Each structure stands twice: as structure tokens, then as C-alpha cells.
A and B are shown apart, each in its own frame.
Chain A
């Protein structure tokens, strides 16, 4: 049985990876998960310098989901290089670094700092709903997406994945713009902007007022967007949004994703990623598929 998939020239042992921001750099979860069993670890977004993120509360639970407004707190690329990448290098898994920035220059600075490091792919976060400057501001305008993708591609040594926001009228327009700019792959979806109000205190639950909605509540939207985008572009897609088990992961593959990322499910079950990788194999065996690639985009 083959579980390997090819993501922009990088071979993953299976299509399961972690979703950026939910898994740190893997160090905390390595107590629960054998990172060797994952196709790739995607690190929490990292910028050229440390970011403090948003005030607290940053987290709110919602029905079947959760809101976060962490605001991309991160220790900066130097710490990632000194502390996190050597840790990840000990495992037989691919390393994808998620990159955030306030401007094209900041994204490029991080990409250049990583060019000689043991990093397999870069994932560019142009879709964080929780930072005012940069983040989603880049991700909602097709012309801006094409431009920034082209700029980053000019400087990045590793293949570039653009992570797209669902907070747009037509995600295929953004996807096509990223492809035109030279993106090697796409990640979708980032969180949906949401809000929760505490009716007892009559105030916002999150200090940031709004946050990104993730978890099972958003899965049907994510599957639909992966399906539409897979039909619109020729580059591979990493599907994510509410995946909590292997059945959910298979749904994304059938919709056209080449790989999947597991995020919020890690909070509910720290072993989720490893279980999903094993569960996909069970699915293949159950329905007599000998190659996971046969599932990709099978549902037309």
C-alpha cells in the first residue's frame, strides 16, 4: 500500500501534517505523538523578529468549534533556527515553516534567513484574521496576492505554499492569483472571522473582539472550498479546516487535496495526527485502494 504523496516536489510519507499555530514546533506534542509517523510538521508562524501577539483572553469555545485571537505571537526566526529546527531535524518527517509578516520585505527576510536551513517547504500566511497589518490584508485582494507571491518566490529557496483565507467572496480568484504569482502549492482554509459575546457580562469574550473560527463547525465550508479550488488551479492543495478523524481527512482528499493538515483536533486529542495517519491506511485497506493518490480528487 502506498501512502506517499508528492507535494511540490517534496515526498511526504503520508498526507497528514499539522496545521500551523496549533502544534507549536512539535516539541510539546512530541510527548504524545511520534512525529516520525507524520507526513510533515508545520511550525507555528514565525516572523523576522519576535511578536507579542494580542491581549488575553485569546481563546473562546463555540459550538463545535473555537475562536482564537493569538495574533501570531512568535519568538522570531532566529529562535526557530537555533532551538526548533534542530529539534525537528531529529525526526524522520518533513519540516514546513509557516512565515508571517507585516510587509513583503518581512516575509522575504524570513524566507532568506531559512534558505540554508533544514526546511523542506515554506508556508506563507497571508490570511491571519487576527493581525491588522499584513496577514489577511494581503490575502483578500487577488492582485496583491499575485504580487506578494511573485516577490517571495523570487527570494525563497524552498518551494512556497500560500495559505489562503476563506474570508473572501471567491477563493478561486485568490487561488488563481497565487498560482499566477508562482506558488508551488496552496493551503486552505485558514480560520473564518468570528465573534462571541458573553451575555452575562455583556461584553466580547475575546480581548480582540473578533477571532478565527476553527474546528468541526467549519469543515463543510473547507471541503467545498478545497473542491472548488482544486478545479480552478493545477498546483497541489493542502486541505484543512475542522479535520478531527481519518474520515474527515479522506473527505478532503476526495475533494481534491493532496495532503491534509490537522489543527484544532490536537487540542481535543493530542494523539489526533498520528491516529488520522493510521486511519487513512485503514480506509485504503477497507475499500481496496493500494495507493492514497487514487483518492485525490476522486469525487468530481
Chain B
């Protein structure tokens, strides 16, 4: 079990980087120093009628300065509240939560779809520190975001649903069209994309790590609200269920069924 904390963090900046997509930098006491790519934080609403914390992935982590960056989509009243926070405002956060990505040797193929793109920024940076070559493939509906940060980590290929930039279609269409390959796949995005990648990785026989999403309550593995089906009986649950928050959110594609 990794160390996690409940903290009052200070918002450093807040910016809308694409329609409905916000980027928040925050200063933490210890969360940044403890965190690694692929982990998430639970962000609590100030409005007490919204009881449950919102799990938001870490986009960038600066352990030395204690800063974290969250890039999130407005999905309802809770995330709308977060988007209204200004520099100097405070927020309650718990983290870092979950197990992040475990960097593996070999050319890394980072695949992000929509609001699953942000954790790929931090992961790419972490892999670069291990001198692992990074290629990113990102799928957007139309408007692009985080492309500058992603390019800093290595090559970036883009797919858009409307064909406004890059390959018209999905990330897999881009991978096929541009003949992109890697030794390890790391991915985060909508379930149909992850399903397609799981199948693709099995076919080309490449290890594939997927970051899953599920509605959560406690965020720390106690309530069993956010499980996914596992291929084998899980050591903790004794059934074929794994906890997305505590055992994930990153899983080897072959160990989960979704």
C-alpha cells in the first residue's frame, strides 16, 4: 500500500485549454512528492450536497516544487465547481491514489483518447527520465489540447474524429496508417478504445497497460464500488473482481475483462 494523504492544496492557476477542458495547477504539501504517473487524486467539492470526491488523473507531477497539474473535462456540477477555482483558492484533495504506470524497457507507445490524454503527458516525461524512447498517439474528437507537452516527450501522432487534423478516425486508424509501433503500449481513454487496443496488442503480441475508469466512492479500496472483472480470481477480493481505485487504475490488458 502506497502512502496517501488528505491535504488542503492551493490553486496556482486555472485555464480552459479547450472547450470544456480545464487545466489546474496546484501546490501540494506532499502529494506531488509521493506521486507517479498514472496515479490520481480524489478532489472534494466544497458544496456539501456533492458527497463523493471526483477521481482526477495526474497530468504533470513536479515532486521538487510540490506542484501537480490536473487536466479535466467538465462533466457535471462537481467538475464545474473545480473549474471555478482561481489562483489562491484552496481545495481538499486526497492522494496520490491507485498504482500508476510501471515503466518498462523498450520503445514506449503511449496512447490517449480524449480526457484519457492528460496522464500520458506525465508518463512520457517519466519514461524520458529512464531514457526510454516515447511515441505518443492521441485521439481527439476535434479540438486538440496538450500537444506541446506531448511533443516534448517525443514524436506525436494525432487522430481526430472529424479529420480536422492528423488521421481521420481513431488512434488505431492512425497507428495503422502511419505504421507506428512500440515494444510496450500504455493507454488511457474511453472503454471502446481500450477494448480495441487490448485486442490489437494481443494480436501483435505486445504487452499493453490500460488505465481504467469507473465510478468510485471511497477511492482507497474499501467500498468495492469501482471494480472491474479480472481474468483470474483476485488475491484480495477472492472473486474475479479487481478494485479499479486500489488495484488499478492501471492493469495489464490480459488480466482484466471489461
Interface set of A (CB-CB < 8 Å, partner B): 21-24, 27-29, 31-32, 44, 50-53, 56-61, 63-66, 68, 70, 73, 75-76, 79, 215-216, 244, 264, 266-271
A59 touches B237 (CB 8 A): no
B228 touches A28 (CB 8 A): no
B226 touches A58 (CB 8 A): yes
Given contacts A66-B51, A73-B237, A75-B236, contact A59 B216 (CB under 8 A): yes
A4 to B78, CA, bound (A): 40
A61 to B221, CA, bound (A): 18
A-B pairs, top 7 by smallest CB distance, nearest first, are A24-B222, A75-B238, A59-B225, A28-B222, A50-B238, A59-B215, A52-B239
Given contacts A24-B222, A267-B217, contact A52 B240 (CB under 8 A): yes
A66 touches B238 (CB 8 A): no
Interface contacts (Cβ under 8 Å), in number, total 109
B218 touches A266 (CB 8 A): yes
Q: Which of A24, A28, A50, A65 has the most CB of B within 10 A?
A: A28
Interface set of B (CB-CB < 8 Å, partner A): 1, 3-4, 6, 44, 48-53, 78, 94, 214-228, 236-241, 246
A114 to chain B, nearest CB (A): 17
A215 to B51, CA, bound (A): 8
A70 to B239, CA, bound (A): 14
What are 14 sample pairs from A and B whose C-beta atoms fall under 8 A apart?
A22-B218, A29-B222, A56-B215, A59-B217, A64-B48, A65-B51, A73-B239, A73-B241, A75-B239, A216-B48, A216-B51, A266-B222, A267-B53, A267-B219
A53 to B216, CA, bound (A): 15
Contacts of A61 in B (CB 8 A): 50-52, 78
A32 to B4, CA, bound (A): 9
- A73 to chain B: closest residue by CB: B224
Given contacts A59-B217, A68-B217, contact A73 B222 (CB under 8 A): no
A70 touches B214 (CB 8 A): no
A22 to B217, CA, bound (A): 9
Contacts of A53 in B (CB 8 A): 224, 227, 239, 241
A61 to B81, CA, bound (A): 15
B194 to chain A, nearest CB (A): 15
Partner of B214, one of A57, A215, A264: A57
B234 to chain A, nearest CB (A): 9
Partner of B52, one of A50, A59, A270, A271: A59
A268 touches B51 (CB 8 A): yes
- B245 to chain A: closest residue by CB: A28
Partner of B4, one of A21, A31, A59, A244: A31
Partner of B225, one of A58, A76, A271: A58
A128 to chain B, nearest CB (A): 13
A69 to B246, CA, bound (A): 19
- B225 to chain A: closest residue by CB: A59
Contacts of B51 in A (CB 8 A): 61, 64-66, 215-216, 264, 267-268
A244 to B48, CA, bound (A): 10
A266 to chain B, nearest CB (A): 7
A261 to B162, CA, bound (A): 53
A266 to B44, CA, bound (A): 12
- A214 to chain B: closest residue by CB: B51
Contacts of A28 in B (CB 8 A): 1, 218, 220-222, 246
A65 to B51, CA, bound (A): 7
Partner of A56, one of B48, B94, B223, B228: B228
A294 to chain B, nearest CB (A): 30
B227 touches A58 (CB 8 A): yes
Apart from the given pairs A28-B218, A76-B238, 4 other A-B contacts in the complex at a CB distance below 8 Å: A24-B222, A28-B1, A56-B226, A268-B53
Q: Which of B53, B221, B225 has the most CB of A within 10 A?
A: B225
A70 touches B223 (CB 8 A): yes
A60 to B52, CA, bound (A): 9
B223 touches A24 (CB 8 A): yes
B223 touches A68 (CB 8 A): yes
Contacts of A79 in B (CB 8 A): 238
Partner of A29, one of B48, B220, B246: B220
B192 to chain A, nearest CB (A): 15
- B216 to chain A: closest residue by CB: A59
Contacts of A57 in B (CB 8 A): 214-215
